Every structure is written in C-alpha cells, then in structure tokens.
Amino acid sequence: MSGFAAFLPGAPSILDLLDDSGYNMSAVLTSKSTFAGKRQLLNHADNIGIYDRSYMEQRPNAAENEGNWGYRDKFLYQEAKNIIIEQSRQNAPFFTLVQTVDTHNPP
C-alpha cells in the first residue's frame, strides 16, 4: 500500500459517512499506522485522531507490554478506554476503532 497516495480514491467509506454526520473519530492501534495501508484508509476522514505505536510508546508501562506485533491487548484496552472516556466528554457523537493484535500469532 505504500505506493498509493490514497485508499480507493473517490469511494465512500464508513469513515466518510461518520465524518459527514459530525462524529469525532479516533483509531487506536498498537502497531504503526503506516503498516499495510492503514493510514491511507484512516485518512479518508478529515476529523480522525490516530493513536498508533508512536503514541503507545510514550505511555506509562509501554515497555513491559510490548508483544511481537504491537502492544498487548490488555494495555491497548486501557489506553482505548482512556481515549473513549475523553471522547464521551465532548458534546458530539463519536466513533473509536480499536485494532487488537494478541491473536495474530499462530497457536
């Protein structure tokens, strides 16, 4: 995906619909948002906060929660909860995408 400037240019996505409807949006990821075209997809929305690996590495206890594909889900859920609580305090509807990675490794 790194060779493309946009993800399906001109095609509407759920992010476009939520953005047009006034939703505050965020994406909480424990890996790099540039991996596998995620940033291109997320950039469909004009109003989205992206909390990815660079955000997670700055959080307390990040080092002991790092896994093979990103940070552990338990750590991710706590950080996502904090972001959701902050979004709920705003006077607008919101949408939060949370991407887990703990089950990525084969058994």
* Tens of pLDDT, residues 19-50: 889 999 999 987 766 666 666 666 666 778 88
User: How many DSSP H helices and E strands does the chain contain?
Assistant: 4, 3
Please give the share of the chain, as a percent, with pLDDT higher than 70: 74
Q: Provide the residue type at 39 as one letter.
A: R
Whole-number average pLDDT of the chain? 79
Binned at pLDDT 50, 70 and 90, residue 105 comes out as low
The DSSP string of 24-64 is EEEEE-SS-TTGGGHHHHHTTSSSEEEE-HHHHTTSTT-GG
Binned at pLDDT 50, 70 and 90, residue 81 comes out as very high
d(CA 45, CA 40): 10
Decide: pTM greater than 0.85: no
pLDDT of residue 6: 63
Q: Phi, psi (5° rounding) for residue 87?
A: -65, -35
